């Protein structure tokens, strides 16, 4: 049986969740291994019928880059080098979304709709990490699997890509009246401004992502949270901070462009109360969005390996 490795970004939970879901469609046909940080596995649980390997070093952790105001290039290289001897043992390597893997596997496939080189260039200007990744991308021109709705930065104009839609399955639309708020703090909890913003309203809200009925979601708009909202037809208030990455700010704009919610800078006061933004979730009844992206991506991966 052929072997597939997912090499997962150390940053947050969304990268792990995406790889775990795509891998779930592959475990019956391949030996699948997920290489990630232990905190990601502990939070989101391991995948059955799949081997899990722990990465001790970080690849990229945006919270640490922000808190230290540093690109931490040496740490990035340590994360790449730690399992270097492992990468050649697999028939296919997929990374979400660490370009540096191309140093060891020039045929690796990237998964993701943004590139860290863009994020670091926007924040720090010219830097070693962006230069390193850009040279690898130019030299090897790897295939990138994207969510066509999330593409930002240089991925928009990148030619060697396979575009899919939202990863979630299509669920029947059920109209609900918005009665409650679900507020999710950033997964890495490095921006206290989000909690400070919500504290201004003195409102009761849930912090449970599994509360999906009659709710509006207030959260930092990572790809995983937006996909969760689309899956369950939850309108979203996409909070962003001026210190957020350019990817997050772009995704906040995407929420409005797609018509599934609104964006809100936490440094500014909204003109209405949170619950006044939406009275129901009927916006989803008139929006046609391509879904089942994770399963389609898995089927595409199968076609490359079999």
Residue 268 lies in a domain: yes
Mean pLDDT of the chain: 93
End-to-end Cα, the chain, rounded Å:
10
Q: How many domains in the chain?
A: 2
Task: Verify that 139 and 218 share a domain, yes or no.
Answer: no
In angstroms, rounded to a whole number, what is the distance separating the alpha carbons of residues 154 and 174?
Answer: 37
In angstroms, rounded to a whole number, what is the distance separating the alpha carbons of residues 145 and 97?
Answer: 10
Task: Verify that 117 and 255 share a domain, yes or no.
Answer: no
Range of the domain at 14: 3-167+292-305
In angstroms, rounded to a whole number, what is the distance separating the alpha carbons of residues 150 and 114?
Answer: 8
Residue 172 lies in a domain: no
pLDDT at position 53 is 97
Q: Give the tens place of pLDDT for each residue, 126-171.
A: 999 999 999 999 999 999 999 999 999 999 999 999 999 999 998 8
pLDDT at position 200 is 85
Buried b (16+ CB within 10 A) or exposed e, 41-71: beebeebeebeeeebeebbbbbebbbeeeeb
Task: Verify that 148 and 189 share a domain, yes or no.
Answer: no
The share of the chain scoring above pLDDT 70, in percent, equals: 98
pLDDT at position 232 is 95
Task: Verify that 159 and 269 share a domain, yes or no.
Answer: no
Task: Verify that 153 and 197 share a domain, yes or no.
Answer: no
pLDDT at position 70 is 94
Task: Verify that 298 and 273 share a domain, yes or no.
Answer: no
Predicted confidence (pLDDT) at residue 268 exceeds the cutoff of 90: no
Point out the least confidently predicted range of 7-16, 23-32, 49-58, 187-196: 187-196
Task: Verify that 71 and 214 share a domain, yes or no.
Answer: no
How much is the average pLDDT of 73-87? Answer: 96
Instruction: Name the nearest CA neighbour of 220 among 231, 232, 209, 211.
Output: 209
Residue 278 lies in a domain: yes
Highest mean pLDDT of the ranges 73-87, 165-179, 235-249: 73-87
144-147 and 161-164 beta bridge pairing: parallel
Task: Verify that 137 and 7 share a domain, yes or no.
Answer: yes
Q: Whole-model pTM?
A: 0.91
Give me the CATH number covering residue 150.
Answer: 3.40.50.2000
Q: Give the tens place of pLDDT for each residue, 205-247.
A: 999 999 999 999 999 999 999 999 999 999 999 999 988 888 9
């Amino acid at each position: 049986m052929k072997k597939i490795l997912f090499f997962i970004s150390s940053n947050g939970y969304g990268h792990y969740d995406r790889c775990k879901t795509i891998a779930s469609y592959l475990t019956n046909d391949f030996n699948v291994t997920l290489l990630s940080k232990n905190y990601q596995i502990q939070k989101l649980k391991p995948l059955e019928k799949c081997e899990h390997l722990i990465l001790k070093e970080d690849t990229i952790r945006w919270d640490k880059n922000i808190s230290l105001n540093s690109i931490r290039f040496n740490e990035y290289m340590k994360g790449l080098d730690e399992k270097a001897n492992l990468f050649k043992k697999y028939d296919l390597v997929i990374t979400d979304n660490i370009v540096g893997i191309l140093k060891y596997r020039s045929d690796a496939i990237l998964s993701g709709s943004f590139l860290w080189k863009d994020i670091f260039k926007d924040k720090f200007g010219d830097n070693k990490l962006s230069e390193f990744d850009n040279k690898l991308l130019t030299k090897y021109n790897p295939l990138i699997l994207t969510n066509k709705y999330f593409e930002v930065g240089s991925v928009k104009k990148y030619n060697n890509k396979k575009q899919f839609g939202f990863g979630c399955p299509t669920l029947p639309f059920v109209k609900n009246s918005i009665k409650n708020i679900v507020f999710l703090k950033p997964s890495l909890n490095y921006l206290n401004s989000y909690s400070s913003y919500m504290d201004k309203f003195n409102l009761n809200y849930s912090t449970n992502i599994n509360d999906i009925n009659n709710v509006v979601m207030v959260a930092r708009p990572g790809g995983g949270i937006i996909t969760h909202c689309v899956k369950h037809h939850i309108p979203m208030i996409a909070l962003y901070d001026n210190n957020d990455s350019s990817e997050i700010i772009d995704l906040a704009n995407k929420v409005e462009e797609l018509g599934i919610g609104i964006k809100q800078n936490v440094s500014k006061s909204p003109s209405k109360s949170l619950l006044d933004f939406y009275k129901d979730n009927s916006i989803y009844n008139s929006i046609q969005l391509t879904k089942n992206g994770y399963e389609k991506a898995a089927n595409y991966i199968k076609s490359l390996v079999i």
